[in-house]
Amino acid sequence: MSAVPVARLALSAIVLALLGGCASSPSASTPAQVAAAALPAQWYAPAAHHGELADLSRWWAQFNDPLLDRLIADAQRVSPTVASAWLRIEQSRAARATADADRLPQIDASANVQRGVYDSRGVAASSANGSITASWELDLFGSNAAEREGAQARFEGAQALWHDARISVAAEVASQYTALRACEAATAQWQVDADSRAETARLTGLTRRAGFDAPVRESLARAAAAQTHAQLMAQRAQCESLVKALVALTAQPEPALREALAASLGVIAQPREIAVPALPGALLQQRTDLASAERDVLAAAAHLTEERIDRLPRIRLNGSVGATRYQGGGFGGIGGAGIPSIDGSGSTWSIGPLSVSMPIFDGGLRAAKVEAARAGLTHAQMQYAAAVRRAVEDVEQALVSLQGTADRLADAEIAANGYAESLRATDARCRGGLGNGFDLEDARRASAQAQLAVIDLKRERVTAWISLYRALGGGWGATSPDAPGTDPVAAATPAAAAAGTAR
């Protein structure tokens, strides 16, 4: 047997062995299998009652608070987190375009012109030629296709993270805004409490000077009044901090924001209830972080495919077409006398060479890359499973908070109504001469403290609804459109921010 057939047989055996190795490699779990293993069969926290399966992307409009809508829009426009997510989309879009280009032929053009004297007779000659060359890698084993699949998965993941950034900013602004409104309402009640304790201290001073009370009771009354006044100052400072936080989030001028906030001081908006999907599996189509983690698994799987195929032969086809023109002798009046002008032109073309390259020995480099890619895929699968469990936990925690606040709020409102009724009755007795100022102020403070409990629970309940909104994906869906064309990086410039505040 000749050497050439033996070499061909050896090369064929190597290719078949590599292909067989790839075919026999164990297939990794798909994202659907990973999610199925991490999802529970049902919710184990009490679901929200009377909720509606509404479009969560417009859930903020149900607060009936135009200022909140505007603050959310402003915060999303200037958020550096949203801008960074947008830049990741642009980077992944460029990477996808690169992957698309790798699957197409590469075509280049070249041209040159030359003139000179090339022989001892001193005859000048000119030449010009141009050519177009093409090169195309035949993607027989799917390496370029796998690269494109990975780039597409990373692009979709970047889009999901952009939506996630917007949802997070909206939830943060709404939480801060709710906390501020609750703080304003609580400040009003602490003012009532402080005024009441100051009145009690004044009455105690009168009774002490009349000889009906000991000096220690006046001291205690004044101490209680001072302590409550300190609490009132702390409450006001907390409200100031929340205003500063909204200014930082929205990039609004503080005087304009304070003027807008003054229109509805202490009003805690109550959103419409949200219905939770019957099965936890619906989260896979709603959560942006799960969508991003799923795309990470797909991208890692595509990368593993690329590294496996990199161990196989690569085939590239080349070709060219060109034209040449030559002129010498009398051309341009430069040349020896009596030397005739020589003109010539022609064209050339070629198909080939058809080149095949295949790694024979690389010291284990490509095998190590395959193992690294396999470890990356396993890591992405673990991260995806963890994200699924975390998503379920977020929903369960929000449901537990909603149930707890619902039960406590009902009792707190009963208590607040009772103390308010007691205050009205005590005030009526005092006006009729059957009560005294101490009983009236005690009833006033009891009513104020009961109202503070209601305010705190309302804030906690709205915060729980916001957490549930965030946990359910904030209106994002697997079929959500691409990010709009507005560039948030340009929108976050000082000039754009100033234009936004002029509305």
Each domain of the chain, given as residue ranges in start order, spans 29-103+141-312+364-501, 104-138+314-357
> Which residues partner with 127 through β-bridges?
114, 326
The answer to whether 293 and 141 have CB atoms below 8 angstroms apart is no
Q: d(Cα 487, Cα 477) in Å, to the nearest integer?
A: 22
Name the one residue in this structure whose structure tokens are 């659907």: 32
Residue 155: other Cβ atoms inside 10 A: 24
Q: Per the structure block, which two tokens stand in for 29? A: 């779990």
Checking if the pLDDT of 48 tops 70, the result is no
Q: Per the structure block, which two tokens stand in for 264? A: 């509805």
Q: Per the structure block, which two tokens stand in for 329? A: 């002798």
Longest C-alpha distance within the chain, in Å?
144
Q: d(Cα 463, Cα 456) in Å, to the nearest integer?
A: 11
Checking if the pLDDT of 360 tops 60, the result is yes
Instruction: Choose among 226, 225, 231: nearest CA to 186.
Output: 231
**What CATH class has 29-103+141-312+364-501?**
mainly alpha
Residue 339: other Cβ atoms inside 10 A: 14
Residue 250: other Cβ atoms inside 10 A: 26
pLDDT tens, position by position, 290-349: 888 889 999 999 999 989 988 888 888 888 888 888 776 544 444 444 556 667 777 878
> Quick one: pLDDT at residue 141?
85
Least confident segment among 96-105, 151-160, 444-453: 96-105
Checking if the pLDDT of 44 tops 70, the result is no
116: which residues sit within 8 A by CB, 6+ positions away? 124, 125
- In the chain, the percentage of residues whose pLDDT exceeds 70 is 78
> Quick one: pLDDT at residue 310?
87
Checking if the pLDDT of 79 tops 80, the result is yes
Instruction: Choose among 173, 306, 197, 185: nearest CA to 250.
Output: 173
Torsion from C-alpha of 335, 339, 341, 345, nearest 10 degrees: -100
Residue 375: other Cβ atoms inside 10 A: 12
The answer to whether 110 and 68 have CB atoms below 8 angstroms apart is no
Strands 342-357 and 314-328: antiparallel
pLDDT tens, position by position, 147-197: 889 989 999 889 888 988 988 999 999 999 999 999 999 999 999 999 999
